[in-house]
Amino acid sequence: MIRITNFARGARGLRLAWQCEEMGLAYETAFVGYPPPAEYLAKNPLGNVPFLEDEGGVAINESAAIMLFLANRYGPTPLLPRAPALNARVTQLTVYAEATFGAGANTLMVAHFGAPDAEKKNWSVRMQEEAAERSLAYLVNVLGGGAFLVGDDLTLADIAIATGLGMYKGALGKELPQQLVDWRAKLAERPAYQRAAQRTQG
Ligand X SMILES: N[C@@H](CCC(=O)N[C@@H](CS)C(=O)NCC(=O)O)C(=O)O
Give residues in contact with ligand X (CB under 6 A).
Answer: 7, 10-12, 48-50, 61-64, 98, 102, 106, 167
Q: CB-wise, 12 or 89, nearer to ligand X? A: 12
53 φ/ψ angles, rounded to the nearest 5 degrees = -120, 145
CA atoms within 13 Å, Cβ hemisphere of 138: 12
Q: How many CA atoms lie within 13 A of 84 on its CB side?
A: 0
Rg of the chain over all Cα atoms, to the nearest angstrom: 17
Least distance from ligand X to the Cβ atom of residue 13, Å: 6
Nearer to ligand X, 62 or 158 (CB): 62
When the beta carbons of 155 and 163 are compared against ligand X, the nearer one is 163
Name the H helices within the chain.
11-23, 38-43, 63-74, 84-96, 103-114, 123-143, 156-172, 178-187, 191-199
Cβ nearer to ligand X, comparing 81 with 102:
102
CA neighbours within 13 Å on the CB side: how many for 76?
5
Which amino acid, 70? L
Supply the minimum distance, in Å, between the C-beta of residue 21 and ligand X: 17
Buried b / exposed e along 79-101 (16+ C-beta atoms within 10 A): bbbeeeebeebbbebbbbbbebb
35/144 with CB nearer ligand X: 35
